[in-house]
Amino acid sequence: MKPSVFITRKLPEEIVAPLKEKFTVRMWDSEDVAVTHAVLREEITQVDALWTMLSDTIDRDMLESATNLKVISNLAVGYNNIDTEAANEMGIIVTNTPDVLTETTADLAFGLLLATARRFNTAEKELRQGGWLSWTPMGFTGMDVHGTTVGIIGMGRIGEAVARRAKGFNMDVLYHNRSRKPETEEEYGVAFAELDDLLQRADHVVILAPFTEETKGMIGGRELGLMKKTATLISVSRGCIVDEVALYDALKNKKIFGAGLDVFETEPVPVRHPLLTLPNVTAVPHIGSASVKTRLTMMKLNVDAITDVLEGREPANRVV
């Protein structure tokens, strides 16, 4: 009997075809609607491989019923949606899709920085709604990006890519990281700073840290209070790193100039989310890696990982 694979979202046929040539493949029938918990729970009890999305929660309880499961391949760099400790205990391999989305996500982060600082969303909304009646001396004015200071929280591959883009805008780059990176400092001309110092000095703060117990809620009311009133906060890693209640207060009361958000504590975002009511928020729906080329490349990594495990080889990009 062929090993079996379940894919939790409808994906392009040309991507899935190589798996179908070798394995029994079942796939959720919607691209836009997430697989139901009931279907996922049933499938995980039967299959040898599970191809998951970041929106799928694979917890210990679910893994305990996965008697045949050998590999979970997650379509993302992050994998906090999977209980990796439980998977490791049960001998289930977990893989992700790093590296290939670095530049695409850095493009999004820097684009969101520009859009937030220069108030693109407000200006476009007024234009579309007929609110642009005349040129005015201070109409739609925002904050400069060129020649300012950017503070990057989390200097991994994406952080380094954002730093390269910042240098093209003649920006000074500060960074805060779990560990100092002298080679990065030398190569890109960036300077290490403790978190409080970075928040006080930066004109634009970009959050790129991974989500861990240490980073959960690391940007709260106290931290936002350290920032300049003219500063922007750009969040493109994981929503739970920023306390959204504190961020709403800081934006509503103009303690900071604006925020650019690609990620939220709860995704998809609930209807009438408070942050989305504020004019100084620029928001997009978790599209950091969303270029056609990058997403297809990520999927190819998932296909390779599943194939390698089911054919007895060690997969690339193994996280446990």
Structure tokens at 163: 């730093």
Alpha-carbon gap, residue 65 to 87, rounded angstroms: 12
Which residue do the tokens 């961020």 mark?
247
Active site residue 176: no
Q: Say which of 238, 244, 273, 295 is annotated catalytic.
A: 238
Active site residue 267: yes
| DSSP bridge pairs for 205 | 151, 233
Q: Say which of 64, 267, 311, 313 is annotated catalytic.
A: 267
Question: Is the alpha carbon torsion for 45, 46, 47, 52 positive or negative?
Answer: negative
Question: What does the DSSP assignment read for 282-316?
Answer: EE-SS-TT-SHHHHHHHHHHHHHHHHHHHTT-PPT
Q: Locate all alpha helices (DSSP H) within 144-243, ordered by sequence.
A: 157-168, 182-188, 195-201, 221-226
Alpha-carbon gap, residue 168 to 107, rounded angstroms: 13
Alpha-carbon gap, residue 100 to 316, rounded angstroms: 13
Catalytic residues: 238, 267, 286
